[in-house]
Structure 1
């Protein structure tokens, strides 16, 4: 099952919350975590609005500081427009924008123009640089602006406009320093939160991939168990039919009938597994097989020439444990048909002390190098048992033959493995 379907079935917060705010996903192309699409966007609207606000706010500030600072002229407005216009590149080149806005603001203040919203352009430029990961550059830019302001307000003011200006109060510098610290602090908080969003997004993606892998593994196990058992029966009966086609047509007809029934059942179970891919989340059309279908397994094994003796009472099991128990017995009998010379097997079902014990024995001898199974089937059985908190033991017996022993807890606790 693909990752998109797995993610679509899980609940949780709205999509935008899982990814962080829209502005938090924009990168700079130089170390930020945003996508190329985010970097390619031009923030025209916010830049135009900020430019209009800075121009209007500076005009109002000039009216309030008449006689204290120089009047706004064409050069002042050009500096304000340039400082605001640089913010168009804040996602593409955040370092250049941080230093550019700080330089424009420093020239503006050095020319004696009134204090006002000119600092907003520096704040946004440095904020974008910090969020994009360029912390040192942003700190250097605001530090440069503050140092330049101190130099202008306490030493160079004698030679800079407006004429007759006096040195600024040191209390004002404390306010400017607090403003700088506030910018850096807010930007750092946003950067940390953005990194947290990125980690959460990566963890969700990893969890979705893990769930998709587990779902693919589950489907592969189901298909393996269904096809291996049915094809083994078909293979044996096909050999019987070919051998008896001329000498005993009636027995050959019986073999072909068994092949038809086994193939029909296999197609039905494969279709049921594939339906879960086409309609994820929907209830299956047919119930999953369980130990109550042991008589069918015995009948199918008989069709393949294997006599199966079942001992013990079949308990009531949860659906997951019931399916796992059925598949384990099915795979064990399939391995007897394929890899053992014995034509007799014994299945023992025992439920006691809070666990279910399934034991499948055959008397051997092995007919090939892979006694007891090829490895894939045994691995699938172990995975099924481990997913329920149980165990599988499989190996040759001391007196000959082969034994598969499964121990499954009756109170099933799903065990998630790290993959």
Structure 2
């Protein structure tokens, strides 16, 4: 529970005042009783501490001046000693060491002055107190100030870390949205063109294209609902959004489905599997799925009509996937006839390569992206499937 600053200021003044009143009531046993002027100085000395959090040095000087006047009038010095110590502690907790050193010297001097003026026969003890108390208050105040500074720094670091995590989460969400929307919209765009072209001449083909458009748009909507459901902090189980949010993320079991969707978009895709399939972490599967999805989307966008091949290889401690096209599609012909470089367009036309690189980096993999020597374009991703392999780092080659 946080205490209000005004309450802190009040307690800083009232507690020493209460102690001073208790000690002052016993002054008649050790010293002469306090008169009206003495009680007025006691009140001034202690109540001024209410402003110590706002002006600690000024309050410290006020306390010691009134305490010195109180001593000069022949009153018992011990009564106002607690207020003097509180004033020095407040300086030590809020001001630099140099300022605190001067204030500690002033308090020690007034303390010795009180012993000399009262003609005490324990002057050596008083000198020891005049040195020990200020040093102890200085040290404890320094520790409190350092603790407060560390607390402020820790809170700033926590706030910065929270902002950084939010930014990273936004990047992840943006990457997911890009992967989902770009792929399905590419399929829809190709099918719309096909349906428009054959609408009057080939009704079955047009109907098949419209069916593919409906399937792709439905899947895109389902994935968008799943992502939006994950962002809802107050999602309710059983709702349509809630069920979409709990739907499993795409994995290798849906790779054939995605390849078939690209085939329906007019790109022949050959899917090959090598090695013995085995269970993989869901994150690794999602990474492979999204990279294949992005690579085939690029074929749909920039080389429609080309033939593509997807090869998935299960190796010892790793999984490797490659997506290649032969470059024989429409953009390939443009490149030969008009000098357009589709490979460069594919590399720099959006955030696809950035998303591939970030996914490979996240799982400690390597990715090679670029034109193939025999023609066309290729993407090769290698991901470690063991903890030892994940420490290799990441690399991107274009």
Normalising by the smaller structure, the TM-score range is 0.7 to 0.9
Change (3 A) 1:112 1:142: farther
Query: Which residue pairs with 2:61 in the alignment?
Result: 99
Per-residue CA distance 1:353-407 (angstroms, 9 max, x = gap)? 3111111101116464513562411110110110111121101111111110111
Structure 2 residues not aligned, in runs of 5+: 333-341
Taking the TM superposition and a 5 Å limit, the aligned residue runs for 1:348-359 are: 348-359=311-322
What RMSD over aligned residues (CA atoms) do the two structures have, in Å?
2.7
Corresponding residue of 2:21? 55
The aligned counterpart of 1:247 is: 201
Aligned length: 371
Q: Which residue of structure 2 lines up, in the alignment, with residue 65 of structure 1?
A: 30
Q: How does 1:6-45 map onto structure 2 within 5 Å?
A: 22=2, 43-45=9-11
**2:99 partner SS:** helix
Contact kept? 2:17, 2:43, Cα under 8 Å: yes
Paired residue for 2:300? 337
In structure 2, the residue matched to 1:305 is 266
Distance in 2 (CA, whole Å) between partners of 1:387 and 1:265 is 26
Aligned match of 2:339: none
Distance 1:280 1:397 in 2: 49
Partner of 1:407: 382
The answer to whether the aligner puts 1:321 opposite 2:284 as a matched pair is yes
Q: 2:44 maps to which residue?
A: 82
Map 1:211-222 → 2, pairs under 5 A:
211-222=165-176
Separation in 2 of the partners of 1:110 and 1:142? 21
**Higher relative contact order (CA closer than 8 Å, sequence separation 6+):** 1
CA–CA distance in structure 2, aligned partners of residues 113 and 81 of structure 1: 14
SS in 2 for 1:371: helix
Using the alignment, how far apart are the partners of 1:264 and 1:133 within structure 2?
65
- Cα deviation digits, residues 59-96 of structure 1 (max 9, x gap): 22x13313xxx531222212221122122112222222
Encode CA deviations 1:113-161: one digit per residue, 9 max, x unaligned.
213252222222222222224443333223112223434544xx3xxxx
Question: Does the Cα contact within 8 Å between 1:346 and 1:361 map onto a contact in 2?
Answer: yes
2:187 counterpart (213, 233, 242): 233
Q: Which runs of 5+ in 1 are unaligned?
A: 1-15, 17-21, 24-37
1:275 Cα deviation after fit: 0.9
Q: Which residue of 1 aligns with 2:71?
A: 109
Confirm whether residue 379 of structure 1 aligns to residue 344 of structure 2: no
Contact 2:107/2:130 (8 A) holds in 1: no
Name the SS of the counterpart of 2:321 in structure 1. Answer: strand
Equivalent of 1:185 in 127, 134, 139: 139
Distance 1:416 1:180 in 2: 56
Q: 2:364·2:393 contact (CA, 8 Å) conserved in 1?
A: no
Q: Which moved more, 1:354-363 or 1:45-54?
A: 45-54
Alignment of 1:141 with 2:103, yes or no, is yes
Partner of 1:9: none
Q: Look up the SS of the partner of 2:308 in the other structure.
A: strand
Q: TM-score, normalised by structure 1?
A: 0.81
Please list, as runs of the form range in 1=range in 2, the aligned pairs for 1:277-292 lying within 5 A after superposition. 277-279=231-233, 284-292=245-253
**In the aligned structure 2, how far is the partner of 1:217 from the partner of 1:415?**
24
Provide closer, same or farther for how the CA distance between residues 327 and 207 of structure 1 changes in structure 2, counting only shifts above 3 A. same
- The 1-side partners of 2:162 and 2:74 are apart by 59
* Cα distance change on mapping 1:59 and 1:137 into 2, 3 Å: farther
**Contact 1:127-1:184 at 8 Å conserved across structures:** yes
Tell me which residue corresponds to 1:29. Answer: none
Is 1:261 aligned to residue 215 of structure 2? Answer: yes
Query: How far did residue 190 of structure 1 move?
Result: 1.2
For 1:170 and 1:261, the matched residues in 2 are separated by 96
SS at 2:77's partner residue?
coil
Counterpart-to-counterpart distance in 1, 2:289 and 2:231? 22
Cα deviation for residue 342 of structure 1 reads: 4.4
Question: 1:357 aligns to what SS in structure 2?
Answer: strand
Indicate how the Cα distance of structure 1 residues 153 and 43 shifts in structure 2: closer, same or farther if over 3 A, else same. Answer: closer
